[in-house]
Structure 1
Amino acid sequence: MNDVELIAVTKRYGGGAVAVDGIDLVIPPASYTCLLGPSGCGKTSTLRMIAGHEEVSEGDILLAGRNVTALPPAKRGTAMMFQSYALFPHLSARDNVAFGLRMRGVAKVERLARADKFLELVHLSHLAERLPAQLSGGQQQRVALARALITEPRVLLLDEPLSALDPFLRAKMREELKRLQRELGISFIHVTHSQEEAMALADLTVVMDHGRIAQAGPPREVFEKPASSFVARFIGGHNVLARAQGSFAVRTDRMRLAAAGNGPQHAGQVSALEYLGAAVRVVVAAADGTEAEALLADADFHAAPVALGQGATLVWDLADEHALAA
C-alpha cells in the first residue's frame, strides 16, 4: 500500500489564482520524496494540503489507502517540520520534544522518557536541558525534528528544513535526515528549491512548474533524461540547444574544448570562466548570443587553458544528446 496518493489535487486561492493544478502523485512506502521547483511552483501548497494545513479545492489525498482530504492535521498520521522550527523559547530541548505528547495527555514520566529516546536518536542527549537560545541552528533543527518524530507519524513532512543552515552544516544534516528516514522506515516528503539537496536525498524527485508536475522519477533518471527544457535548465548541469528539427539537452560535463570538426559543435567567444576546485566552468557565447557551457576537469582545462574573450569551440558526441519534448 502506498504511503501517499494525490488524485487530481487542485488548490485555488482567492481571486481564482491556481497554486496547484490537478496533480496526480503516488509516493511508495518508506521512501524519501523531494518536491522541487522555483518559488511559486506549488510545492509548499502541495505539502500543506497533505498536512491538512491548507484545504483542497478539488481532488483527494489518500494516506495509507485512507482518504484524509477532509480530516484535520491531528487525525492524518502525519507530522510537519516547519522552516522556522517554531520551538518554544521558554522550554528546554527535552520539554520541546515532549510537548506534542503533553498535549495528548501522556503522563509526564512516559513523555519525558520518550523525549529522551528521540533526543538520543538525533544525537542531542547531552543538551536536553538547554533552552533553544543556547543551541546552534543545527541543534535547534534536530530538536524540531525529534519533536515531529516523537508522535510516530506514518509520513514526515519537511518544509525547506535546511535553508537556514550554512553549507557545511547543510551537508551534514542531509546525511542525518537520510539516516533517520532509513532507520525509522517511514516516508519523508521534503520541499526544497535546491537541486543538489534533492539529488542527494531523494528516492523520488518531483519537479514542479506553475502548479503542475513537470517530471517525477528517481533523481538519476530526472538528471539523465529531463523531460523538457524547463526541467533540464532547472535541474542544472545541462545545455539546452536547438536545431531545425527540435531542441535537445547535453550535459555540461560531456562538453569538451576542441578544434572545430565534423561533429556537433558550438563556436564563439569565452564569456565566463569559473574555477570550482575540482572543475572549471567555461561558458562560450556564439555570435547570435546563444550560450553553452562545459564543466571540465581541472587538469584537462589547465592542460590547454582558454581566457575570457578568446575564441573557443565546444564539441560533444551525438550519443550524448537527449531530445526534449516540445
Structure 2
Amino acid sequence: MRRALWRALPVTTTPEGRAIVTTVLDVELISVTKRYGNTTAVSDISLRIPRGSYCCLLGPSGCGKTSTLRMIAGHEDISDGDVIIAGQNVGNLPPVKRGTAMMFQNYALFPHLNCVDNVAFGLKMRGVGKAERRAEASKLLAMVEMEKYAARLPAQLSGGQQQRVALARALITRPKVLLLDEPLSALDPFLRGTMREELKRLQRELGISFIHVTHSQEEALALADLVVVMDHGIIVQSGPPQEIFNRPATAFVARFMGGHNVIRQDSGAVAVRADRCRIGMMDSALVGAGGIGGAVCSIEYLGTVVKVGIETETTGEVVALVPDDQFFASPLTLGETTRLTWATADAHPVTL
C-alpha cells in the first residue's frame, strides 16, 4: 500500500462542484545572480519548479548548478534576485528556516553515531525528545530499507548503505524540498542504477520536490520530470527529458546530452540523433533526404550497435549508431569513403 503524501495537492472547486487540482510552485527563482568578487557564477537565471517535481540541474563542471543549489538551500548568499519556496521569499532566511534539506555528495555522516542517531540528529537539534526522535528515525530507516542496520556505525556500511542513511537523515525534518548535490557520483555503475530507482520511488511516494545536481546526462534523463541544462552560469534549456534529448535548442545542448550529430549546412546547423543516421546504402530510402560524406575514422562494437565515426570536411567527425546485424552484413573498414544519411524529419535546426 502506498504511503500517504506528506502534503495534499491543492484543490479548487468549480461552481458546478467539480474539483480541479491547481498548479503550485515549490520553488521559483527570479533573476537570481551569484557573484564571487569579479566572477559571475550564476547570471540572472529564472526557473519555476512545480510542486512534487523531480528536477535535475545538469551541466559540465563550473556551469553554476551547484551554486544555484546552494543559493536555494541558503548555504550561499544571493547577489541579486529572489528565491521563493512554497510561496515565501526566503532570500534572507537561514537554511533551517527555508523548509529545505540538503543531502551532500560526501554524505557527511557522524562517524561516532549509529544509523538511528545519525538519522535522528536533525530532530535532536530541534529539541525533540530521545524516544520520539529515535522512533521517527526508525520509520525513516525502514522507508529506505535500512532498519536492520540501525545499530551500525557508518564505517560498518557500504557506500550505498551510507547513502540511504544520509537520505533518511535529510528527510526526517519533513522538508518541503529536498536538495541533492551529486548524490550518486561516488557509487559504482551498478549501484548507481539501483539508487536511481530508489530516489525516484521515494520522491513519488513522499510527493515533495527533489532538486538534484548532476553532470550525468543518463542520470538526469532517468530521474527527472524537469531537466535544466546550464552552461557558463545561465540556463540554456529546460523542459521534460524527452524534449531536451529529442529537440535540443542549441548545439551545446545537443553535444552535451550526447547521441547527436551537429551538422553545419549552408542554411545553418541541424542536430540529428546518431541512432537515426544510416551509413552508405544500408537504408536506401534515406539517401538524398540529408547526407554528408567522409572517411571512416573509428569503429566501436558496443554489443547491440556499432558506433561508426566518419571524418568530414565541413563538420568534423559525425557518428552513426548502426544495429550490429546491419553493420556486419556489410562491414566497413577504417579509411573507407562512405556517406552518412538521415531522414529530413529526424533533423531540426539548432543555434550555434
Corresponding position of 1:228: 250
1:262 is matched with which residue: 276, 288, 293? 288
Note the C-alpha offset of 1:238.
Answer: 0.5
The one-letter code sitting in structure 2 at the alignment partner of 1:8 is S
Corresponding position of 2:129: 107
The one-letter code sitting in structure 1 at the alignment partner of 2:28 is E
Corresponding position of 2:110: 88
Structure 1 segments, 4+ long, off by >4 Å, are: none
Distance 1:35 1:258 in 2: 39
2:35 is equivalent to residue 35 of structure 1: no
1:252-280 CA-to-partner distances (Å, cap 9, x unmatched) read 01001123943321221111112222221
Distance 2:159 2:33 in 1: 35
SS state of the match for residue 255, structure 2?
helix
Contact 2:264 2:314 in 1 (8 A): no
Note the C-alpha offset of 1:161.
Answer: 0.2
SS state of the match for residue 109, structure 2?
coil
Distance 1:199 1:305 in 2: 32
Q: Which runs of 5+ in 1 are unaligned?
A: none
Shifted more, 117-126 versus 250-259: the winner is 250-259
Corresponding position of 1:10: 33
Shifted more, 250-259 versus 264-273: the winner is 264-273
Corresponding position of 1:173: 195
2:318 is equivalent to residue 292 of structure 1: yes
Distance 1:283 1:299 in 2: 18
SS state of the match for residue 270, structure 1?
strand
Note the C-alpha offset of 1:112.
Answer: 0.5
Distance 1:288 1:60 in 2: 45
Distance 1:289 1:319 in 2: 20
Corresponding position of 1:301: 327
The equivalences for 1:129-208 within 5 A come to 129-208=151-230
2:238 is equivalent to residue 216 of structure 1: yes
1:159-194 CA-to-partner distances (Å, cap 9, x unmatched) read 000000000000000000000000000000000000
1:241 is matched with which residue: 241, 263, 288? 263
SS state of the match for residue 25, structure 2?
coil
Contact 2:288 2:341 in 1 (8 A): no
Distance 1:101 1:302 in 2: 61
Corresponding position of 1:276: 302
Note the C-alpha offset of 1:310.
Answer: 2.2
2:337 is equivalent to residue 311 of structure 1: yes
SS state of the match for residue 66, structure 2?
helix
Distance 1:24 1:4 in 2: 10
The one-letter code sitting in structure 2 at the alignment partner of 1:218 is P
1:38-57 CA-to-partner distances (Å, cap 9, x unmatched) read 01100000000000000000
Note the C-alpha offset of 1:287.
Answer: 4.2
SS state of the match for residue 319, structure 1?
helix
Note the C-alpha offset of 1:325.
Answer: 2.5
Distance 1:288 1:252 in 2: 17
Note the C-alpha offset of 1:242.
Answer: 1.1
Note the C-alpha offset of 1:296.
Answer: 1.5
Distance 2:242 2:256 in 1: 15
SS state of the match for residue 72, structure 2?
helix
The one-letter code sitting in structure 1 at the alignment partner of 2:211 is I
Distance 1:289 1:184 in 2: 47
2:73 is matched with which residue: 51, 64, 67? 51
The equivalences for 1:52-67 within 5 A come to 52-67=74-89
Distance 1:319 1:97 in 2: 52
The one-letter code sitting in structure 1 at the alignment partner of 2:97 is K
1:60-108 CA-to-partner distances (Å, cap 9, x unmatched) read 0000110000000000000000001000111111111011111111100
Sequence identity of aligned pairs in percent?
Answer: 65
Note the C-alpha offset of 1:115.
Answer: 0.5
The one-letter code sitting in structure 1 at the alignment partner of 2:333 is A
SS state of the match for residue 9, structure 1?
strand
SS state of the match for residue 164, structure 2?
helix
Q: Which runs of 5+ in 2 are unaligned?
A: 1-23
Contact 2:263 2:315 in 1 (8 A): no
Distance 1:47 1:189 in 2: 8
TM normalised by structure 2 equals 0.90
Distance 2:326 2:201 in 1: 36
SS state of the match for residue 3, structure 1?
strand
**Structure 1 residues 288 and 185: alpha-carbon distance in aligned structure 2, compared to 1, 3 A threshold:** closer
Distance 1:85 1:278 in 2: 37
Shifted more, 64-73 versus 279-288: the winner is 279-288
